[in-house]
Amino acid sequence: MNRVTRSLQMLIVSFFWAIGHPLGRIITQKMHPFQLAGITLIAGFFSLFIYLVIKGDVKKIFKLPIRDILISLGLGVVGFFLYQIFTFSALSRIPASINAVLISTNVVFIAILSVIILKERIKLLNVVGIILAFIGVLFVTFNQGFSFGIGSTKMDFIGIAFSLMAALCSALYSVIGKKILSSNDPLIITVLALFFGAVLQTILIASTIGFSEIAVAGWKINLLTVFLGITMIGIAYPLWFVCLKAFPATQISIYMYLTPVFAIILSLIILKERFSWLFWVGGVLILVGIVITNAAINKKSKVQIGEAGDA
């Protein structure tokens, strides 16, 4: 795979992950977030499963140790079941652009959780990145002005909380799955996690709100929902893993910074969202904080690889 092909594939990945924000915002106006999460997970699972069938890798699922299957269950709960609930619940309450920017803070959460869970030492560079991102979150949250009054300046803090919880779930998925993903085919683990997440989401829908709103939403909304599942999960994930296998993570992670950028542009075009200067300043601070934090993480990874090679 040459660099041009890799760049094109990663741009597609970033675009598909970004478009879920404005389209998800549209769908949640007609469909409950739980239902949206359920359909996207099911569509994504079948897309990836078909991909594995074509590759002839389905048999690998049955060769996994019970321990890894149970860990995959946990990853499905955190990385797909809870993540989908939080992110789509956020989209039902706050603008898609804000949701995209806040969820991109998952890199910052990864740095924090690595200290708490993996007992890694935190570097000064990490601290600087976290502080910048935190200030950026405040600016984005209060982008219409620092007011708690009723009206256009009122911010839905429940929606903000949902978005940040989604970022935390994404970070937990990365930190908890670090070892199992490194010792197994990441796509196999993802398919298992997706399956568990889809099953749990279906049970949740059946036991709470039911499926009636899905039929009432109309075929256009349902088709759009399936489209999100196929593109965000079924197409983006295989492309991501193909690029990750061919090139170092440090070379392709920069493309992930484009996801919130694409999401903001798409939200401006599709949803006509507009924000004050605080949003743009906050967005830049978050992006800079993420770049700094990710640079510190990648630098540490290179040192650890070098030490392992010298041992």
State the pLDDT at residue 252.
64
CA nearest neighbour of 214 among 86, 24, 27, 23:
27
Question: The dihedral of CA 10, 174, 109, 81: what is its sign?
Answer: positive
User: Does 193 or 244 have the greater pLDDT score?
Assistant: 193
For residues 214 and 39, the answer to whether their CB atoms sit within 8 Å is yes
Residues 266-282: tens digit of each pLDDT: 888 898 888 777 788 88
Q: How far is Cα of residue 154 from the mean position of the Cα atoms in its chain?
A: 26
Give the predicted TM-score (pTM) of the model.
Answer: 0.81
d(Cα 104, Cα 95) in Å, to the nearest integer?
15
The two three-digit tokens of residue 138, written as one number: 């405040």
Residues 62-109: tens digit of each pLDDT: 888 898 899 899 999 999 999 999 999 999 988 898 898 889 888 788
Residues 13-53: tens digit of each pLDDT: 889 998 999 999 999 999 999 999 999 999 999 999 999 99
Widest pairwise Cα distance in the chain? 62
For residues 206 and 42, the answer to whether their CB atoms sit within 8 Å is no
pLDDT bin (cut points 50, 70, 90) of residue 135 is: confident
pLDDT bin (cut points 50, 70, 90) of residue 296 is: low
d(Cα 254, Cα 174) in Å, to the nearest integer?
17
Tell me if residue 55 falls in helix, strand or coil: helix
d(Cα 14, Cα 6) in Å, to the nearest integer?
12
For residues 42 and 198, the answer to whether their CB atoms sit within 8 Å is yes
